[in-house]
Structure 1
Amino acid sequence: MKFSGRARNALLSRGEKRKATKKSALDRGLEALRNQLGLGPNAGAETPEDNSHRGHAPLEVGDTDDHARTIFYAPDLDGQADPGEIVWFLAPVDAAAKQHSERAMLVVGRTRRRGVLGLLISPNSTHSHDGNWMEIGSGQWDSLGRPCWIRLDRVLEVPDHALRRAGALFPRARFERVASALRSRFDWN
């Protein structure tokens, strides 16, 4: 027989209630993994604790000219995101529904707060006529091989711990085209 939460709590002693409501960090982590793998009773559901591990809360967006800095190509596949590498992160799609989508960005710098600065990459062809977007062609950042665009007028700041994957290289010649646009339009060095 199943009881509602309130009825179950009424049947438990005080010590049993504490044990039932207090889970160890390991138990919470295992439960989150089971849910993400579709093995738990709440498969697919995310709790606020899950969100901190998944990395979609700390994303900041700013004007590119407010983040002007020296830009240089320096990828190093050492596990830390460097300028010239592509990284993926979870970005909000619908705040009301708490839905998120994995998005790619080109790393163009680092922050003092242990994060990266990046430019959003999109395969949406409607950007082809928008002056704030630059065509970059296809590459490892899009598994379907579609032509893509990169947004120049907005910079994303994402903490290292919120990055989902790192390691794809952006071609140097294309990076120099992006860097040149940032230098001429937004006073980057």
Structure 2
Amino acid sequence: MTPHPTGWHLFKQALAIRDAQPLDKGLRRINDRLGLLGEQRPTGRRKAATIHIERTEDRARSIFFTPDMDGQADSGEVVWVWAPADTPQDPPQERAILVVGRTRTTILGLAISPNPEHADESWWLEIGAGEWDDQGRQCWIRMDRVLEISEEQVRRQGVLFPARRFERIANRLRSTYRWG
């Protein structure tokens, strides 16, 4: 037979329920950022991330291949962001971004695109197919613009860019855009 709960016991239960809500929110946020929620992710219209775009030479910095599955997006990892569409009435599209640097709270990245029209554009570099495109298409990376995005607005999925291909991009950034 279970004893009748005391006032103190009921108070502790109420606190546990109240405190579980922020904990649950926090765990859902962490799982969402890590891409672990899968089909449980909320459906409906996504909000586009705030993306600051700068000329690559204006953000010149040292670049190294330093992926580390430590909870932060690091140089050499691919992340996804809900980017604004070309027209305001269209919904945002999830885009793959190669991380090439970071600040304390933001990532710096280069946009990845499977659009074959980029093959003839000098500011795009061919990177081949990889896990960043779920259809396995040939892709390109935009070299002349750096995207700065709050780390909270990107989704990580544990995809590392191949080191040799990353070094090709780093060499282009060093030789053309004055990166170190």
* TM-score, normalised via structure 2 length: 0.74
How many pairs are equivalent? Answer: 144
Q: CA deviation at 1:94?
A: 3.7
* 1:151 maps onto 2:178 in alignment: no
RMSD: 2.2
Cα contact 2:49–2:149 (8 A) shared by 1: no
The letter of the residue matching 2:91 is Q
The equivalent position to 2:96 in structure 1, one of 92, 104, 111, is: 104
Aligned to 1:82: 74
Aligned-partner Cα distance in 1 for 2:45–2:82: 16
Cα distance between partner residues in 2 of 1:84 and 1:36: 28
**Structure 1 segments (4+ residues) deviating >6 Å:** none
Q: Which residue is equivalent to 1:181? A: 172
**Cα deviations by residue, 1:111-163 (Å, 9 ceiling, x for unpaired):** 24x10000000000000000000000000100111010000000000111000
8 Å CA contact 1:35–1:45 kept in 2: the answer is no
Give 1:31-180 correspondences, 5 Å limit: 36-37=42-43, 44-45=44-45, 51=47, 56-97=48-89, 99-112=91-104, 114-180=105-171
| Cα deviations by residue, 1:31-80 (Å, 9 ceiling, x for unpaired) | xxx9944xxxxxx356xxxx4xxxx2421111000000000000011221
Q: Which amino acid aligns with 1:99?
A: P
Q: Give the share of equivalent positions with the same residue, in percent.
A: 51
Q: Deviations over 1:2-34 (max 9, x none)?
A: xxxxxxxxxxxxxxxxxxxxxxx99xx9xxxx9
Distance 2:41 2:148 in 1: 29
Amino acid at match of 1:80: Q
- Any unmatched runs of 5+ in structure 2? 1-20, 26-39
Q: Following TM superposition, by how much is the alpha carbon of 1:96 offset from its aligned partner in structure 2, in angstroms?
A: 2.1
Q: Which has the higher contact order (CA 8 A, sep 6+)?
A: 2
SS at match of 1:117: strand
Query: Deviation of residue 97 (structure 1)?
Result: 1.0
Any idea what SS the aligned residue of 1:96 has? Answer: coil
